[in-house]
Structure 1
Amino acid sequence: MNVLGVRAERRVVVLAAVLVALTLCLGLAGLCYGASWSSPGEVLAALSGAEPSVVISQWRLPRVLAGTVFGAALGVAGAVFQNLTRNPMGSPDVIGLDAGAYTGALFALTVLSGTSAQLATGSVLGGLLVAAVIYLLSADRGFSGLRLVVIGIAVNAMMTAVNSWIVLRAELEVAIAAVGWSAGSLNGVDWADLYIPFCVIAVLLTAMSTGAHAMHQTSLGDAVAVTTGVGLNRLRLLMVLVGVGCTATVTAVAGPIAFIALAAPQIGRRLAGAAGVPLLPAALTGAVLLQGADLLAQMLLAPAALPVGVVSTAIGGCYLIWLLTKEVRRA
Structure 2
Amino acid sequence: MKGLIASTGITPTDRVLRTGRATVRWDRRGATVTAVLVVAVAVMIVLSLMVGEYTIGPSALWDVLTGAPQRRLDRFFVLDRRLPRVLVAVGVGGGLAAAGAIFQRLHHNPLASPDIIGFTSGSAFGAVFVLIALGGSLTTGAIGAAAGALATFAIIGMLTAVGGLRGTRLVLVGIALGALASSATTYILSQAHLPSAAVAHTWLIGSLSGRGWGHVTILALGLAVIAPLIALLHRSFRALDLGDTVAATLGVRGGHARLALMLAATLLVGLAVAAAGPITFIALAAPHLARGLTRGPGILAAACVGALLLGISDLIAEHAFPAPVPVGVLTVSIGGIFLLWLLIREGISHRV
Corresponding residue for residue 21 of structure 1:
39
Counterpart of 1:240 (choices 239, 262, 284) is: 262
| TM-score for both structures, normalised by structure 2 | 0.89
Corresponding residue for residue 110 of structure 1:
132
- Secondary structure of the 2:162 match is coil
Contact 1:85 1:146 in 2 (8 A): no
Cα distance in 1, alignment partners of residues 110 and 171 from structure 2? 10
Corresponding residue for residue 325 of structure 1:
344
Corresponding residue for residue 198 of structure 1:
220
Superposed, which structure 2 residues align to 1:1-331 within 5 Å? 1=5, 4-6=12-14, 9-52=27-70, 53-142=75-164, 144-274=166-296, 277-302=297-322, 304-331=323-350
Contact 1:193 1:253 in 2 (8 A): yes
Contact 2:92 2:275 in 1 (8 A): no
Q: Deviations over 1:12-71 (max 9, x none)?
A: 111011101111111111000122111122211211111341211121111111111211
Cα distance in 2, alignment partners of residues 232 and 138 from structure 1? 14
Cα offset, 1:106, TM superposition: 1.2
Structure 1 unaligned regions, length at least 5: none
Q: Deviations over 1:135-161 (max 9, x none)?
A: 211332345354322211221122122
Cα distance in 1, alignment partners of residues 224 and 156 from structure 2? 26
- Secondary structure of the 2:120 match is helix
Cα distance in 1, alignment partners of residues 294 and 311 from structure 2? 20
Cα distance in 2, alignment partners of residues 202 and 317 from structure 1? 32
Cα offset, 1:6, TM superposition: 2.5
Cα distance in 2, alignment partners of residues 206 and 305 from structure 1? 36
Q: Deviations over 1:257-294 (max 9, x none)?
A: 101111111111111111xx321111111111111111
Cα offset, 1:3, TM superposition: 7.8
- Secondary structure of the 1:140 match is helix
The amino acid that maps onto 1:289 is L
Q: Which runs of 4+ in 1 moved over 4 A?
A: none
Greater CA drift, 139-148 or 82-91: 139-148
Contact 1:95 1:153 in 2 (8 A): yes
In 2 relative to 1, CA 3–168 (structure 1 residues): closer, same or farther, beyond 3 Å? closer
Structure 2 unaligned regions, length at least 5: 16-25
Greater CA drift, 161-170 or 61-70: 161-170
Cα distance in 2, alignment partners of residues 319 and 3 from structure 1? 28
- Which structure has the larger Rg over C-alpha atoms? 2
Contact 1:85 1:149 in 2 (8 A): no
Cα distance in 2, alignment partners of residues 120 and 86 from structure 1? 30
Cα distance in 1, alignment partners of residues 225 and 39 from structure 2? 24
The amino acid that maps onto 2:200 is A
- Secondary structure of the 1:79 match is helix
Contact 1:264 1:285 in 2 (8 A): yes
Cα distance in 2, alignment partners of residues 174 and 262 from structure 1? 30
Cα distance in 2, alignment partners of residues 267 and 136 from structure 1? 32
Cα distance in 2, alignment partners of residues 62 and 141 from structure 1? 44
C-alpha RMSD over aligned residues: 1.7
Q: Deviations over 1:286-305 (max 9, x none)?
A: 11111111111111225x32
Cα distance in 1, alignment partners of residues 88 and 257 from structure 2? 28
Greater CA drift, 307-316 or 44-53: 44-53
Corresponding residue for residue 19 of structure 2:
none
Cα distance in 2, alignment partners of residues 246 and 272 from structure 1? 23
In 2 relative to 1, CA 235–145 (structure 1 residues): closer, same or farther, beyond 3 Å? farther
The amino acid that maps onto 1:29 is L
In 2 relative to 1, CA 143–155 (structure 1 residues): closer, same or farther, beyond 3 Å? closer
* % same residue: 37
